[in-house]
Amino acid sequence: MAFLRLFSILAILAMVNASEYDDSTCYSHTCPKVEKISKKITEKFIKDDPTLAPGLLRILFHDCIVRGCDASVLIDPTPSNNATEKDTVPNSTLRGFQVVDAIKAELEQECPGVVSCADVLSLAARDAIVAINGPWWNVPLGRKDGKISLASEALANIPSPFSNITVLKQNFAAVGLTPKDLVVLSAAHTIGIGHCFLIQRRLYNFTGKGDTDPSIDPSYAAELKEKCPKVVGDFKTFVPMDFITPTTFDENYFGIVAKNKGLFQSDAALLNDETTKNYIYTQIYTQGASFIGKDFAESMEKLIQIGILTGDQGEVRKICGAVNGY
């Protein structure tokens, strides 16, 4: 009997603890309109500029892979920490911070000090992808914001477009993501852009002898060379990553990669591993394949759980660009 009572107490305690994070209704008393506000503001921004959807999704990925999904990527440099994650080369082309800031500002009016920037970023990315008719995934709420943001950690952990498959698998495994997650999430490159400066070497000086990466389809390499001329110091010109349907969240990425037309070495590298390669071919050749309907959402739900902070492990920032009390 005593054992049963102890068991029920433990079960209740476990539920309370889990509800801090796992329960999507965690703001139901403190900020019931949170999802509605996020959706409304995100939809407005996306209507004006649909290209912010890939931008937001990429911010979320870059947040979660460094120190977990704690909004550390949003912190601006300050005199006391002049090298935050945001202030690094891999994060220099992130886009969409204004959407997160606008949602946060309205939430601070509605329910001050309640909803974390980490939750806002997760919601904004999901709502943005849904707003361009992409897949929906569940976003559990209640995580806290981190107080640490280090450029060195962004440089060490954000996967490079020049990486080979071994390194990419290591980057993902380090945060508990599998090779399947790697190929599924990389297919986010079905939307959005890549800057020419990131493929200069691939196009014009792959091994230091003025050559082109032999793994790129020659006709695609020629097209890319037209759009991305050989220049030094151009950080503005860009090309779509999915040149067939650049703004549609679809499964075209797999066909593109299989035809050696992936934009980055990291996209092409997915053909160099049995699991990732088989996934690509399964998506291409199976009718009603699982990427859109199931896999992307499942891998996103894993991504947004990485290293979350709850309770006293973090804070709810007042503004997303700075830790409280700065």
The nearer residue to ligand HEM, 36 or 294, going by C-beta atoms, is: 294
DSSP one-letter string for 149-183: --HHHHHHHSPPTT--HHHHHHHHHTTT--HHHHH
- Decide if 184 contacts 296 (C-beta within 8 A): yes
Please tell me whether residue 319 adopts helix, strand or coil conformation. strand
**How many whole angstroms separate alpha carbon 96 and alpha carbon 161?**
21
Please tell me whether residue 255 adopts helix, strand or coil conformation. helix
DSSP state of 258: H
Which one among 134, 142, 192, 314 touches ligand HEM, defined by CB under 6 A? 192
Is 185 among the residues that bind ligand HEM (CB under 6 A)? Answer: yes
With CB atoms as reference, the residue minimizing the distance to ligand HEM is 192
Is 116 among the residues that bind ligand HEM (CB under 6 A)? Answer: no
Is 188 among the residues that bind ligand HEM (CB under 6 A)? Answer: yes
The nearer residue to ligand HEM, 159 or 321, going by C-beta atoms, is: 159
Is 193 among the residues that bind ligand HEM (CB under 6 A)? Answer: yes
In angstroms, what CA-CA distances link 318 with 28, 31, 63, 108?
Answer: 20, 15, 18, 7
Question: Measured in whole angstroms, how far is the alpha carbon of residue 72 from the centre of its chain?
Answer: 13
- Decide if 265 contacts 161 (C-beta within 8 A): yes
Stretch that binds ligand HEM, among 55-63, 73-81, 112-120, 310-318 (CB under 6 A): 55-63
The nearer residue to ligand HEM, 37 or 190, going by C-beta atoms, is: 190
Can you name the residues that pair with 315 across neighbouring β-strands? 145
Is 194 among the residues that bind ligand HEM (CB under 6 A)? Answer: yes
Strand ranges for the chain from DSSP E: 193-195, 238-240
Is 264 among the residues that bind ligand HEM (CB under 6 A)? Answer: yes
Active site residue 195: no
Token output for 241: 């990553």
CA torsion through residues 253, 259, 262, 263, sign: negative
Token output for 33: 């309109």
The nearer residue to ligand HEM, 54 or 146, going by C-beta atoms, is: 54
- Min. distance of Cβ 50 from ligand HEM in angstroms? 10
Is 149 among the residues that bind ligand HEM (CB under 6 A)? Answer: no
Is 58 among the residues that bind ligand HEM (CB under 6 A)? Answer: yes
State the catalytic residue, choosing from 29, 62, 189, 195.
Answer: 62
Is 245 among the residues that bind ligand HEM (CB under 6 A)? Answer: no
Which one among 116, 122, 266, 305 touches ligand HEM, defined by CB under 6 A? 266
Is 277 among the residues that bind ligand HEM (CB under 6 A)? Answer: no
- Residues in contact with ligand HEM by the rule CB under 6 A: 54-55, 57-58, 61, 93, 95, 159-161, 163, 168, 182, 185-186, 188-189, 191-195, 198, 238, 264, 266
Q: Which residues are catalytic?
A: 62
